Amino acid sequence: MRRSVDELGHPAYVQDSLAVDLAHASDEQIFGPQSTSRVDLPDPGPWAGQIAQAIVEVMSGLRPAPQVVRWTTPQVYAVIARRGALAARRRASRSRAVAQRAIVRSVHVCEPDDGVAECSVVVSEGERVRAMALRLTGQDGRWRVEALQIG
């Protein structure tokens, strides 16, 4: 193979191709969310309390839904956003309706696998007490709500 040289006799820069075998990799493995190990994630207890507070506020129409989009899967976000929009419309139709802010009373965490946390959260809104279950998975260096159940 003959190499080209510049005016001073130095070899000219030649950009070669990088040999990468992507035959066995899917687009999701290359470009999709990447799992994160538990050691690279924050403590799930306080984080679950904060995201539960935000989710309840979105679902009661007190907070805009896009504030939780980064922390939820598309399926969970769709449910939260839909319930939040309904609550906001219902509140707007009532005159002088004052929504009570929800308060997270307790958070219990179980970690069944590396990078997975299952959390039960007790939330009170005025005199009403509700239970919330969250399944968090470590993705791209942060916790993400993968499943949500509210009682």
pLDDT in tens, 46-84: 999 999 999 999 998 889 999 999 999 999 999 999 999
Q: Which CATH architecture has domain 34-150?
A: Roll (3.10)
Give which of 133, 135, 111 is closest to 120, Cα–Cα: 133
Chain centroid offset of residue 143 CA: 6
The domain locations on the chain are: 34-150
pLDDT in tens, 92-138: 777 665 667 889 999 999 999 999 999 999 999 888 999 999 999 99
- Report the predicted TM-score, pTM, of the whole model to 2 decimal places: 0.75
